[in-house]
Structure 1
Amino acid sequence: MEPVQKKKLYIDVLERIMSAISTSEFPPGSQLPSEKELMGMIGVGRPAIREAMQALQQMGLIRISHGERARVINPTPDVIVAQISAAMIMMLSTNPRGLEELKEIRLLLETGLVRVATRRATARDLDRLAEALRELREARGNNLRFVAADMQFHALIAEMSGNSMIAAVSKGMLDWLSRFKRDLVSVKGAERLTIEEHERIFKAIVNGDAEAAGKAMEDHIGRASELYTQYIANPPE
C-alpha cells in the first residue's frame, strides 16, 4: 500500500474559497477579501493564499487586476472553454493523434448539432445564416477572411442549437481547428467545394429537413478531413 499523500495547504484554501463562491457567499461580480483578510479568515500564510488565487484565475473563476481585489467571474461555458484553449492548441501542435481525434469529435458533434439547429431554427437564425453564407462567397481569394467566414457559419449553427454548453465547446473546437486550416483553402477547388457544401447544409436547414442537414454536414466534414490528410501528405511546393 502507498502512504497517504499530505494535501498541499493551498489546495485546502482553494477548496474553501470555491465553496464560498458556490454557496453565494461571494457571488459573481463581487470582490473577494484582500490577501491579508483571507490570511486571517482561513489562518494560513500569504504563499498559500497566492497559490490558491492563481489557481482560481486559471480556472476562470476570478479575475485579478493590478491594484484591485480579485473579482468573482460568472463561470459561463464560453469563459471555461477560453481558459483551456491555449493548452488545447499546444496539445494539437505536439500530439500526432491530436488533430485526428479532434476531427472525429467534430464529426460526431456537428452532425448532431445541425439536426437540432434545423428543428429549432427561427426566421432570425436563417437570416443570420444566410448572411454568413454571403460572406463566405464574397471572401473567395482571401484566405484569412474565408476561414473566418467558414468558422462563423458553423458557430451560428452551434448557437442555433440553443444549448450554451455545446455551443461553447463547438466554437472553441472551431477556433482550435482554424489555427491549422488556413492553408487548405489555397488548394485548387477547395473554396468552390466548401461554398457548395455550405449551400447544401443551408438549404436543408431552410427546408426543415434535419436528416438531410446532418448528411450534408457529414459529407462536408468528411471531405474536409480527407483534404487535410492529402495536404499533409503532399504539401504544395
Structure 2
Amino acid sequence: MLRSEPIRRRRLYEEISSRIEAAIISQDLQPGDILPSERELMETFGVGRTAVREALFALQKSGLVKLTNGQKAVVAKPTADSLINELSGPARHVIAEPERLRQLQQARGLLEGFLARIAAQRATPQQIAELEKALVANREAIDDYEKFVETNIAFHYGITSITENIFIEGLHRAIYVWLKDQRTVSARAPGACESAYGWHEKIFEAIRDHDPDRAEQAMMQHISQAQDAYWRVIEAEAEVSAR
C-alpha cells in the first residue's frame, strides 16, 4: 500500500538546479559552457539571489558545474571524483559495522580480480610501460611506509585506468577512499610491504604476458592476504587495549 505522507514541496533552489541539470543531461549545455550570470538567472527564473546561489552550490556539489569566485559558473566535465563525493557519506556510515566492512572488502576483491583480467586482455604496450613505472616506484618505496601506501594505490589505479571507463574508475577510487583505514592498518603487519610488492610483481608480469587467468588469480590472492593482514592487526591491537 502507498503510505499516506504529504508530498514535500520543492524549494526554489531545488527547482532551479533541476532545470539546469536537465539542460546538462539533454546536452543543451555542454562541458565548458558558461552559465548566465547570477543576475541573469534571477531574471530567467524570477527568483532571488539566494535561491540562485544555493542552486549553483548544489550543482557544484554534484560535480555538474564549477564555481570560481568572481566568475560565471561553468558546466563541468563529469569525473570519477564527482561520483566518489556523491557516495562517500552514506558509504562511510554503512561500513562502520564490521560485517558490512567485510562485505565491502569482498566486493573489492571481486572488482580488482575482474580489473586485472581486463587489463591482461586489453593493455597496450604504452599502458604496460606506464604500469611498469608504477611497479618500480612501489618497489623503491618499500622502506618508506607512507610512500609505499601512496605508490601501492598508484599501481592499482594504473590497472584500473586501462579500462578507460570513468564509471569503473570512479567505483574503484571510491572503494579505495572508503577502505583508507584498511590500507594503513594492513601495512603495519610485519612484512606487509614486501608481501604486497611481491604480489604486484606477479600481477604485472601476468598483465604484461596477456595472461588473464593468471592476472585475476594473483590479484585475488593479493587482496585476500591484505584483508587477512588487516583483521590480524585489528584483533592484535584490540587484545592489547583490553589488557
What amino acid is aligned across from residue 33 of structure 2 in structure 1?
Answer: S
Distance in structure 2 (CA, Å) of the matches to 1:7 and 1:16: 13
Alignment of 1:56-67 (within 5 A): 56-67=59-70
Aligned to 2:174: 172
Q: Which moved more, 1:38-47 or 1:109-118?
A: 38-47
Aligned length: 236
Q: Are the structure 2 counterparts of residues 205 and 26 from structure 1 closer, same or farther at C-alpha, using a change threshold of 3 Å?
A: closer
Matched, 1:192 2:214: no
Alignment of 1:74-85 (within 5 A): 74-76=77-79, 78-84=80-86
Tell me the CA shift for residue 115 of structure 1: 0.6
Tell me the CA shift for residue 25 of structure 1: 3.8
Answer yes or no: is the 8 Å Cα contact 1:29–1:73 preserved in 2.
yes
Aligned to 2:151: 149
Distance in structure 1 (CA, Å) of the matches to 2:163 and 2:23: 33
Aligned to 1:119: 121
Residue of 44, 48, 59 corresponding to 2:47: 44
Answer yes or no: is the 8 Å Cα contact 1:139–1:149 preserved in 2.
yes
- Describe the superposition over 1:6-27 as per-residue Cα deviations: whole angstroms up to 9, x where unpaired: 2222221111111222334432
- Identical columns (%): 34
Distance in structure 2 (CA, Å) of the matches to 1:19 and 1:117: 35
Aligned to 2:101: 99
Aligned to 1:71: 74
Answer yes or no: is the 8 Å Cα contact 2:88–2:174 preserved in 1.
no
- Describe the superposition over 1:163-209 as per-residue Cα deviations: whole angstroms up to 9, x where unpaired: 23212321332244334422432321212211221122122212221
Residue of 17, 38, 44 corresponding to 1:14: 17
Answer yes or no: is the 8 Å Cα contact 2:182–2:230 preserved in 1.
no
Distance in structure 2 (CA, Å) of the matches to 1:235 and 1:109: 29
Residue of 220, 223, 238 corresponding to 1:221: 223
Superposed CA RMSD in Å reads 2.3
User: What SS does the aligned partner of 1:13 have?
Assistant: helix
Distance in structure 2 (CA, Å) of the matches to 1:85 and 1:150: 23
Tell me the CA shift for residue 97 of structure 1: 4.4
Q: Which runs of 4+ in 1 moved over 6 A?
A: none
Distance in structure 2 (CA, Å) of the matches to 1:24 and 1:121: 32
Tell me the CA shift for residue 112 of structure 1: 0.7
Distance in structure 1 (CA, Å) of the matches to 2:97 and 2:47: 40
Distance in structure 2 (CA, Å) of the matches to 1:164 and 1:47: 34
Q: Are the structure 2 counterparts of residues 182 and 94 from structure 1 closer, same or farther at C-alpha, using a change threshold of 3 Å?
A: same
The TM-score with structure 2 as length reference comes to 0.86
Q: Are the structure 2 counterparts of residues 93 and 214 from structure 1 closer, same or farther at C-alpha, using a change threshold of 3 Å?
A: closer
Distance in structure 1 (CA, Å) of the matches to 2:212 and 2:34: 46
What amino acid is aligned across from residue 112 of structure 2 in structure 1?
Answer: E
The TM-score with structure 1 as length reference comes to 0.88
Answer yes or no: is the 8 Å Cα contact 1:63–1:73 preserved in 2.
yes
Residue of 8, 27, 30 corresponding to 1:5: 8
Answer yes or no: is the 8 Å Cα contact 2:95–2:104 preserved in 1.
no
Long gaps (5+) in structure 2: none
Tell me the CA shift for residue 92 of structure 1: 6.9
Matched, 1:209 2:218: no
Residue of 180, 183, 201 corresponding to 1:181: 183
Aligned to 1:162: 164
Answer yes or no: is the 8 Å Cα contact 1:91–1:98 preserved in 2.
no
